[in-house]
Amino acid sequence: MTMTIQQVIDAITAAIPDKPGSDTVDTVKTGDPSRPLTGVVTTFLATCQVVRRAIELGANLIITHEPTFYNHRDEVDWLGGDPVYEAKLKLLNDHGIVVWRFHDYWHRHVPDGIITGVLRQLGWEKYADAEQPALCAIPARSVVELAGDLKAGLDVASVRVIGHPNTLCRRVGLAVGAGGGRWQIRALREGRLDALVVGELHEWETAEYVRDAVALGQRVALIVIGHANSEEPGMAYLVDWLAKRLPGVPVTHVPAGDPFWYA
């Protein structure tokens, strides 16, 4: 029996007991979820390139981690008449694509689905704290070596670093995504970290805190890898997670990729 898109969404949310509540951003953004499912694409973000690849694959459900329309809640009232928004919406509607966001639920999964995917891609599962998987006790590495490990493991073209290159790192925190300065600084302090790895930041907050910490003689480091780079592995891991719960449903991961190129 062919499942509808809504049945797939319901099966996913039912598998995560810790519900995010009525204020969740995990809602359908485009399309009619009552239609029969033809295939699923997982991605960090439903870019136009990802949408086009879903069309090529014959998939009509895109499960995205981040917003489709350029703001956290996908509010579109301010985008009416905007040529980029209108063209993207038309592309989705013309091909009957449902975009459903899977952010709050995936982070509430135990363990956090995004962190699990990142650990798996880095090969750091054995270093992760059982109670706090985002806290890793790695073999001693200099900041330069750690930055190289992250670039290679996550296939990142470039990272940005604050801290002395030869600072030894053993306690590393994975602050994926964009948690904000207070959360990132608190994680660095309370976790007694040698290095904090973040997706993105407000540069006047965490970056300046770490710069001052280094100037005051503390042996700490901050490594910025980019938001997409920090969370894409978690959406790739979702393919395996779904295979166990939705047998027979065609699921493909299509990476959004780093939006920047480096001069």
Question: In this structure, what CATH number is given to the domain that contains residue 130?
Answer: 3.40.1390.30
Together in a domain, 86 and 126: no
Residue 13 has pLDDT above 80, yes or no: yes
Mean pLDDT of the region 222-244: 98
Nearest-CA neighbor of 92 among 50, 121, 133? 50
Together in a domain, 184 and 135: yes
Instruction: Measure CA 132 to chain center.
Output: 18
Mean pLDDT of the region 51-64: 98
Together in a domain, 117 and 192: yes
Eight-class DSSP state of 69: S
Together in a domain, 124 and 218: yes
Instruction: Convert the pLDDT of each residue in 216-229 to its tens digit.
Output: 999 999 999 999 99
Together in a domain, 26 and 130: no
Q: Quote the CA–CA distance of 6 and 20 in Å, as a whole number.
A: 18
Together in a domain, 174 and 131: yes
Together in a domain, 57 and 16: yes
261 inside domain: no
Together in a domain, 90 and 143: no
Non-local (6+) Cβ contacts of 154 within 8 A are 118, 121, 122, 225, 229, 230, 233
Eight-class DSSP state of 96: T
Together in a domain, 120 and 167: yes
Q: Say if CB 88 and CB 33 are below 8 A apart.
A: no
258 inside domain: no
Together in a domain, 198 and 156: yes
Q: Say if CB 230 and CB 256 are below 8 A apart.
A: no
**Structural domain count, the chain:** 2
174 inside domain: yes
Together in a domain, 11 and 92: yes
Report the percentage of the chain scoring pLDDT > 70. 100
The whole-model pTM stands at 0.96
Q: Quote the CA–CA distance of 114 and 133 in Å, as a whole number.
A: 11
Instruction: Convert the pLDDT of each residue in 166-219 to its tens digit.
Output: 999 999 999 999 999 999 999 999 999 999 999 999 999 999 999 999 999 999
Together in a domain, 202 and 244: no
Mean pLDDT of the region 8-15: 97
Nearest-CA neighbor of 172 among 156, 150, 200? 150
Q: Quote the CA–CA distance of 225 and 255 in Å, as a whole number.
A: 16
User: What range defines the domain where residue 197 resides?
Assistant: 113-225
Q: Say if CB 208 and CB 201 are below 8 A apart.
A: no
